[in-house]
Amino acid sequence: MELRNRFSLGSLYYWLVALFLYLPILLLIVFSFNDSTNLRFPLTGFTLRWYQELFGAGELLKSLWNSIWVGLWSSLAATVLGTMAAIAINRFEFPGKNIFIGISALPLVIPSVVIGVALLILYRQVFDVELSLLTVGLGHVVINIPIVLLIVSSRLAGFPANMEEAAMDLGASFWGAQLQVILPMSLPALVAAFLTAFTTSFDEYAMSVFVVGTNATLPVYMYSQLRFPRRIPIVVALGALIMVGSVVMIFVSERLRRAGEAK
Amino acid sequence: MEERRRLSILITPSAIFMLVLFVLPLLIMVVYTFRQGSFGPTSRIFTLAHYHDFLSDRALQGLLWRSVVQSFWISLISVCLAYPVAYHLSFQAGERKMTLLTIIIVTAWVSFLLRILAWKVLLGGSGAIASLAQSLGLSEEGMPFLIYSQEAVNLTLIYVWIPFVALPIFAGLERIDPSLHEAAYDLGCSRPEAFVRVTLPLSLPGVVAGFLFVFIPTVGEYVTPSLVGGTTGVMFGNIVRDQFVRALNWPLGSLMSLAMLIVVLIPLVIAARLFKFSDLAGL
């Protein structure tokens, strides 16, 4: 009896928190179908106008495309670099290993504004390059490498140590063993790492805004539009679509991660 | 020999990348704090003037301190609110725990800007809460007092961070061997006693990780204050950003950014001393 009481209390609290987390988001979605530029009650009527206007909003779509582009390349680069480093960390002992791990994990735990500022100075004052999608993308690789490193190395650490040896005894070279045994086995972690990196890049604002050129990424463009109340419903409509998209992506990546862990 | 070649092929690309695009920029930022001006000939002059300015500017230091204290409370409250959720998932939810965890975590993936925007819409002077109260006849005019304050920033950030904190705490709780609880009960502990003396101490690495995960980015926050903070809700991060965007005083901005970095590294180093890295990272 006592146990059941406890259970329902914990459960009640859980659902209250969940409600608190979802209500503001749902509210935005509701407003994205509301026939008014003012995001306030009472609701004035159902409309798909904002979603239709979305397709005519050239700049917005361009920034969306920029973000997808930057996200794909920066996550791909981070996944390749991070996975190689994860294999090295897992497989080898070497001097300075802990320093390497520490430095590679650091971008995850220092404020993005610091990274943004430091990169801005590097780009403009040292290399003297124009800010562009490339400069943003490289910044995203910096913050994505730690993410990939964490996800992939925790997966690699779960493998029995002799997998690679077994493959090599059966005639595979070192690189053959990595490509044909280690990589396929860690594939779910690689996909999860890539997706996590992509979402991070896609959503990054605090650092990106320092190193972005005139060609904005989506969060940077969205932020600039918040100054114009008339544009907010369109931003919200796109946001609602992205939310649905990212929720689907998260469920897929969670599935993959768990499928990987279950083996 | 062969082994070393393999190692260097695997590690060199990421090591070089991190050196050039992470370590080098931070070092240059430090060098920059000694420059007199941002551009042109003044940028070649070595000076300690910015250090002098920063160290004699009580208001600036006060703002940094205020932001740190504010971040501390935001992180602490987020941890306290998220802990029971993680506890429920880990010990009471049974089979459904991963599904329930995912339900919470999904919100962390919704665009950061949109979640802040949602609170701007909710709290606005004639926003969702005010207009709802108005149409229900609860209040006559708008509620301009809800938004543009430090409290609005705190509320919004706590909302944003709860799912981020819940995850490491959950991971920490999951690593506790369940037989330890049984042992505690067998030795005569009551449930609350077992919680305080066994569960809580063992979950501490996860709690600390969650706390730092939120504390560090909050100290550097400037997006939330600029959207819902107004003039009274300004944080140190806003001033740093202004040095680069408005005032164009990059050297002073670099120094302020360095000060911020040092402030967040202190608790990080302490945590790294007290706990194993792998416990904090949830590996």
pLDDT digits (tens, 9 = 90+) for B73-128: 999 999 999 999 999 999 888 888 888 998 898 888 788 898 999 998 888 877 78
Task: Decide if pLDDT at B142 tops 80.
Answer: no
Residue B43 lies in a domain: no
Name the A residues in 178-237 with CB < 8 Å from any B CB: 199, 203, 205-206, 210, 219, 222-223, 226, 232, 235-236
Which residues, in sequence order, are CB contacts of A187 under 8 Å at separation 6+?
A: A260
Total structural domains within chain B = 1
**Tens of pLDDT, residues A155-197:** 888 887 777 778 888 888 888 888 888 888 888 889 889 988 9
Q: Which two tokens stand for residue A120?
A: 């801005």
- pLDDT on residue B242: 93
Which residues, in sequence order, are CB contacts of B267 under 8 Å at separation 6+?
A: B212, B215
* Mean pLDDT, chain B, whole residue set: 88
**Tens of pLDDT, residues A25-44:** 988 888 888 888 777 777 78
Interchain contact B31–A (C-beta under 8 A): no
Task: Decide if pLDDT at A5 tops 70.
Answer: no
Where helices occur in A35-186 by DSSP H, the ranges are 49-56, 58-91, 97-105, 112-121, 133-157, 163-169, 174-177, 183-185
Task: Decide if pLDDT at B196 tops 80.
Answer: yes
Task: Decide if pLDDT at B193 tops 90.
Answer: no
Interchain contact A166–B (C-beta under 8 A): no
Which residue of A17, A84, A88 is in closest CB contact with B81?
A17
- pLDDT on residue A7: 57
Domain boundaries, chain A: 49-262
- pLDDT on residue A96: 87
Name the B residues in 237-276 with CB < 8 Å from any A CB: 237, 240-241, 244, 250, 253-254, 257, 260-261, 264-265, 268
Q: Which two tokens stand for residue B120?
A: 């701007």
Start-to-end Cα distance in chain B: 31
Q: Which residue has the tokens 């509701």?
A: A30
**How far is Cα B98 from Cα A114, in angstroms, rounded to an integer?**
35
Residue B39 lies in a domain: no
Task: Decide if pLDDT at A237 tops 70.
Answer: yes
Residue B126 lies in a domain: yes
- pLDDT on residue B46: 86
Q: Which residue has the higher pLDDT, B275 or B257?
A: B257
Which residue of B109, B128, B265 is in closest CB contact with A40?
B128
For residues B36 and B42, the answer to whether their CB atoms sit within 8 Å is yes
CATH 1.10.10.10 fits A49-262, yes or no: no
Q: Which two tokens stand for residue B254?
A: 């670099």
Q: Which residue has the tokens 């944080």?
A: B235
Interchain contact A10–B (C-beta under 8 A): yes
List the single residue in B with minimal CA-CA distance to A201: B111
- pLDDT on residue B126: 74
User: Testing the interface with B: which of A37, A40, A248 to mutate, by most B Cβ within 10 A?
Assistant: A40
B79 neighbourhood in chain A, CB within 8 Å: none
**How far is Cα B82 from Cα A14, in angstroms, rounded to an integer?**
9
CATH number where B178 lies: 1.10.3720.10
**Interchain CB distance below 8 Å, A13 and B109:** no
- pLDDT on residue A190: 92
Mean pLDDT within B224-244: 92
**Interchain CB distance below 8 Å, A138 and B21:** yes
3-state DSSP percent of chain A in helix, strand and coil, to 5:
80, 0, 20
List the single residue in A with minimal CA-CA distance to B161: A21
- pLDDT on residue A15: 95
**Tens of pLDDT, residues B17-37:** 999 999 999 999 999 999 887
Kindly provide the ipTM of the predicted complex, given to two decimals. 0.89
Q: Which two tokens stand for residue A91?
A: 């497989």
Label each residue of chain B as H, E or C: CHHHHHHHHHHHHHHHHHHHHHHHHHHHHHHHCCECCCCCHHHHCECCHHHHHHHHCHHHHHHHHHHHHHHHHHHHHHHHHHHHHHHHHHHHCHHHHHHHHHHHHHHHHCCHHHHHHHHHHHHCCCCHHHHHHHHCCCCCCCCCCCCCCHHHHHHHHHHHHHHHHHHHHHHHHHCCCHHHHHHHHHCCCCHHHHHHHHHHHHHHHHHHHHHHHHHHHHHCCCHHHHHHHCCCCCCHHHHHHHHHHCCCCHHHHHHHHHHHHHHHHHHHHHHHHHCCHHHHHCC
Provide the 8-state DSSP code for A196: H
Q: Which two tokens stand for residue B282?
A: 């949830």
- pLDDT on residue A28: 87
- The dihedral region occupied by A36, where left means phi > 0, alpha psi between -120 and 50, and beta the remainder, is beta
Residue A1, amino acid = M
Q: Is A21 helix (H, G, I), strand (E, B) or coil?
A: helix
Segments forming the whole domain that contains residue B193: 58-281
List the single residue in B with minimal CA-CA distance to A244: B110
Residue A132, amino acid = S
Compute the count of residue pairs across chains A and B with CB atoms less than 8 Å apart. 244
Which is nearest to B260 in space by CA: B228, B231, B217? B217
**How far is Cα A111 from Cα B219, in angstroms, rounded to an integer?**
7
Name the B residues in 205-244 with CB < 8 Å from any A CB: 212-213, 216-217, 219-223, 227, 237, 240-241, 244
% residues pLDDT > 70 (chain B) = 96
- pLDDT on residue A2: 46
**Tens of pLDDT, residues A117-136:** 999 999 998 898 999 999 99
Residue B136 lies in a domain: yes
For residues B189 and B197, the answer to whether their CB atoms sit within 8 Å is yes
Cα B99 off chain centre by: 25
Confidence category of residue A1, pLDDT binned at 50, 70, 90: very low
Environment class of B2 (CB within 10 Å of its CB; exposed 0-12, middle 13-18, buried 19+): exposed
Interchain contact B148–A (C-beta under 8 A): no
A229 neighbourhood in chain B, CB within 8 Å: none
- pLDDT on residue B281: 62
Cα B120 off chain centre by: 20
